[in-house]
Structure 1
């Protein structure tokens, strides 16, 4: 039985020490809601299923001594909110042409974490921490006229929320981690410059032991079109990918009405 009689302290770098060099897999799923315009009700727009193939490393650092480092390959598939089938095309408005759904395919997202102590107070089995990350930067599509219908404005304004639970050894029935995001509409939705629609992603995250334990739709997609997403390299000199940069890179494929994600084998 876990001991609750005293405060329990540990370092977040313990996870990196315990898993250094390992290939890990995370499964996430949830729903995407939108408010199409101020004053309108929130509506469920899509469901989403996703995965991260993650490599965990502990690295020396001249400033902090040691840092935890993650390299991720990430996929997210937009699905019908009722049938849960993967969507390939979507109609922005009644009477308008359908547009290709550009799924999330971030071939590299990496970053570091310095040591941080977590204290679980006496009498508690775990504590919950929410990491709120404001997002504000010039929108990558705003300066080019060809992207006018695919850009909500000059500035991207959003917030990401990562909710994690930290526990004493041996504690069970811990709530899953969650990821949420408030942001403008996605470029592939083609709502027109300055359209006020906002999105809310709400997902839960779980770690699985093997690639085959991920959602079968993801396993099949990776094996058929995205084989590099099954494994993560130990190091990578590529810039981090975002959904907006991915859309920009594959804009011609989008205009041709191709089915996303685009095949990546190397």
Structure 2
């Protein structure tokens, strides 16, 4: 049947005495309509593209990568990798496996001068794993102190962003910058951190102890998916590197050295795609981490160090109570 249609079309075009031009065009139009209705001829529809060079595009593309262009749409990231210790004068050691997740959502915000933007709210967990067995660590056999340290996993709630807009402080529009390599976008962020340590004293400026670290994030994914205005979510692959001081629960007491973490992951289609170890740990100990905080969450951010401070303070308080009884 399809071949018959094509033959008829060719005859209409070639025949010198097959009627006037208008009739032939009409017949070809009818033929094309028949093909479309029959499902043999597909006319591609050009998807609307987000303009990366506009303020609106800056907001939309960031939302697609970080969360969704739809308000209140929960999204989940997962990552895994390893943590290493570096001490002067000795080889680096792989001391942890890493397995983490972040559950988040975005909501629209408005500013009289900057226009429409968005705010991200999230909470995250990262588990420290035995680097050989992959099991969740409960204690860490510290090779430098000889102690068995109780492991405090990362459980930061909330980890919220400040409102983000497509307009800079000077009123100029922002553009969304990325590298396009064979249809894949590449985006990198380096975030040096240096601020007052939540577990330090009041004189860090004078005697040291400030929190000093660097976070490095990389995103890559399909450019066509990212720029397609009809798709509210992009699904990037991510990588994360962290350079930082010893974790407080390691009780290193000022020993020379540092940690560096390296992990990769991606945005998942849904919560159920999380690794079983994460889902099990969340179900048992962190049930609220199945969903992000509310969009209007007013709380101050939790960091690994403020979270550990709360736990260590609680332990010390309990030890003091036991000592007095």
- Return the TM-score normalized by structure 2: 0.67
Aligned to 1:185: 246
**Aligned equivalents of 2:179 and 2:100: distance in 1?**
34
TM-aligned CA distance change 1:28 to 1:100, over 3 Å: same
Question: Structure 1 residue 124: deviation in Å?
Answer: 4.2
Is the contact between residue 137 and residue 157 of structure 1 (CA under 8 Å) also seen in structure 2?
yes
Answer with 200-209 or 160-169: which moved more: 160-169
| 1:30 aligned residue (81, 101, 125) | 81
Q: Is 1:205 aligned to 2:265, yes or no?
A: yes
Q: CA RMSD in A?
A: 3.0
Paired residue secondary structure (2:243): strand
Aligned to 1:142: 200
1:21-61 alpha-carbon deviations (Å, 9 max, x no partner) = 201111111111110x2243222110110111101222112
| 2:93 aligned residue (37, 43, 50) | 43
Aligned to 2:275: 215
Paired residues in the alignment total: 243
Residue ranges of structure 2 left out of the alignment (5+ in a row):
1-43, 167-173, 203-207, 227-234, 319-325
TM-aligned CA distance change 1:185 to 1:94, over 3 Å: closer
Is the contact between residue 163 and residue 178 of structure 1 (CA under 8 Å) also seen in structure 2?
yes
Paired residue secondary structure (1:235): coil
Aligned to 2:223: 168
Residue ranges of structure 1 left out of the alignment (5+ in a row):
145-152, 258-266
Paired residue secondary structure (1:108): coil
TM-aligned CA distance change 1:120 to 1:32, over 3 Å: closer
Aligned to 2:176: 118
Report the structure, 1 or 2, having the larger strand content. Answer: 1
| 2:126 aligned residue (76, 81, 85) | 76
**Aligned equivalents of 1:12 and 1:236: distance in 2?**
24
Paired residue secondary structure (1:191): coil
Is the contact between residue 100 and residue 254 of structure 1 (CA under 8 Å) also seen in structure 2?
no
Q: Is 1:133 aligned to 2:191, yes or no?
A: yes
**Aligned equivalents of 1:95 and 1:161: distance in 2?**
30
Aligned to 1:108: 158
Q: Is 1:244 aligned to 2:292, yes or no?
A: no
Aligned to 1:159: 214
- Return the TM-score normalized by structure 1: 0.80
Question: Structure 1 residue 166: deviation in Å?
Answer: 5.7
Report the structure, 1 or 2, having the larger helix content. Answer: 2
